[in-house]
């Protein structure tokens, strides 16, 4: 079985994430994409809303796709989330998985800094997607990493979770920038400074 891991903070999950996952699935005929919210990513401060809310938004949004699933291992493990630890555990549990890891162009340049990246590139293949504002340049990477990255085309969307948190806090609409389930969750729970309102 071919599985693509879509890792992220998802604070909140948005259409850029959904399109990246779908482009990777479609281009490489992945059987499933597993969305994996990190607990505390190594490169970031603690997220804006709770892990429970980030996980719940992902769960509610991805269930509409027959091939998308949620993997809650990093959030249940807690602490700083290192991909290598999760991947080792995944391959112990499911030895026959052919694993891919989907990442946006902004993350590609930081791959050499990832914990145990040499081991990670032996365990999986990265699927890189473009992202406005960053040139996806594999030439800057060491050979052993660059040769384990394949690319997928996706419609370019200039949406980030940072921009959505700011828009929500300013009272601007985030509708259609996030899956409908995320929009409803944010409004129902009053996340990111949005005034809570009944689901009706």
Query: Which residues make up the interface to ligand ATP (CB under 6 A)?
Result: 8-11, 16-17, 20, 103-104, 106-107, 129, 131, 157, 159-162
Question: What would the two tokens of residue 128 be?
Answer: 């890189």
Between 131 and 187, name the residue whose CB sits nearer to ligand ATP.
Answer: 131
Between 92 and 159, name the residue whose CB sits nearer to ligand ATP.
Answer: 159
- Sequence-ordered list of residues with C-beta below 8 angstroms from that of 197, at least 6 positions apart, any chain: 187, 188, 190
Three-class secondary structure assignment of 121-183: HHHCEEEEECECCECCCHHHCCHHHHCCEEEECCCCCCCCHHHHHHHHHCCCCCECCECHHHH
Minimal distance in Å, beta carbon 194 to ligand ATP? Answer: 17
67 vs 165: CA distance, rounded Å: 28
Between 68 and 197, name the residue whose CB sits nearer to ligand ATP.
Answer: 68
Minimal distance in Å, beta carbon 89 to ligand ATP? Answer: 20
Helix (DSSP H) and strand (DSSP E) numbers for the chain: 9, 6
- Sequence-ordered list of residues with C-beta below 8 angstroms from that of 3, at least 6 positions apart, any chain: 30, 31, 32, 33, 34, 97, 98, 99, 100
Between 121 and 197, name the residue whose CB sits nearer to ligand ATP.
Answer: 121
Minimal distance in Å, beta carbon 200 to ligand ATP? Answer: 29
Between 3 and 107, name the residue whose CB sits nearer to ligand ATP.
Answer: 107
Minimal distance in Å, beta carbon 157 to ligand ATP? Answer: 5
* Helix, strand or coil, per DSSP, at residue 87: helix
């Amino acid at each position: 079985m071919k599985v693509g891991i879509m890792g992220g903070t998802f604070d909140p999950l948005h259409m850029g994430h959904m399109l990246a996952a779908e482009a990777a699935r479609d281009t490489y005929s992945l059987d499933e994409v597993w969305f994996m919210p990190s607990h505390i990513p190594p490169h970031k401060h603690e997220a804006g809303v709770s892990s429970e809310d980030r996980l719940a938004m992902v769960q509610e949004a991805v269930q509409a796709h027959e091939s998308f699933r949620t993997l809650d291992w990093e959030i249940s493990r807690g602490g700083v989330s290192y991909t290598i630890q999760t991947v080792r555990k995944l391959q112990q549990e499911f030895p026959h998985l052919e694993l891919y890891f989907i990442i946006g162009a902004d993350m590609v340049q930081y791959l050499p800094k990832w914990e145990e990246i040499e081991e990670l590139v032996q365990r999986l293949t990265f699927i890189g997607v473009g992202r406005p504002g960053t040139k996806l340049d594999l030439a800057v990477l060491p050979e052993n990493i660059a040769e384990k990255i394949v690319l997928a085309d996706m419609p370019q969307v200039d949406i980030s979770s940072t921009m959505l948190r700011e828009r929500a806090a300013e009272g601007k609409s985030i509708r259609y920038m996030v899956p409908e389930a995320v929009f409803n969750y944010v409004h129902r729970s009053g996340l990111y400074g949005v005034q809570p309102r009944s689901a009706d």
